[in-house]
Amino acid sequence: MAAARPRSEGVSQRLLLLVEDDDDSAVLFASHAERLGHRVIRAENGEDAVRVAESSHIDLAVVDLLLPGMSGWDVVAQLMSTEATAHCPIVVCSVLDRQDYPKDVQAFLPKPYTRRQVEQILQRLLPDGEQ
């Protein structure tokens, strides 16, 4: 298994929206994504996630399903139906069983996840153009 390679100079960072209310999970995901050269902006609830997504030109969203207030399912639906974010891949990250995840998202990241799983998903959904 090859080690993660850092992004090379000149490759633009991608902005990831992490919708996660659990601090430990947020820190873990952000550390994995940042080691791969991405920037992470966090929203702790669905309402904030929608506001951030509409104003930040995100490249990808990672959405926990169990959130306070607006549910992760509603966040996914809103992101998919809003012009500013309809182009963004969405990754669902949850402790729930996979059959409970929204069906139209691009990837699933069941908790607990590994650095390698995060790396594989981000490389697949955000190709860096060097291939």
79 in any annotated domain = yes
DSSP code for 100: G
Dist CA 63 CA 43 (whole Å): 9
Residue at 5 is within a domain: no
What pLDDT is recorded for position 12? 61
Q: Is residue 3 part of a domain?
A: no
Tokens of 125: 């959904």
At 88, which CATH number?
3.40.50.2300
Count up the domains in the chain and report the number. 1
Angle between helical axes of 23-35 and 115-125 (0-180°, round to 10):
60
**Residue 53 structural domain:** 15-125
Q: What is the DSSP letter of 118?
A: H
38 within domain boundaries: yes
Q: pLDDT tens digits, the chain, 131 residues: what are they? A: 333 344 444 446 899 999 999 999 999 999 999 999 999 999 999 999 999 999 999 999 999 999 999 999 999 999 999 999 999 999 999 998 888 888 889 999 999 999 999 999 999 999 874 33
List helix spans (H) across 1-131. Answer: 23-35, 46-56, 72-81, 115-125
Return the pLDDT at 100.
83
Whether 32 maps to a domain, the answer reads: yes
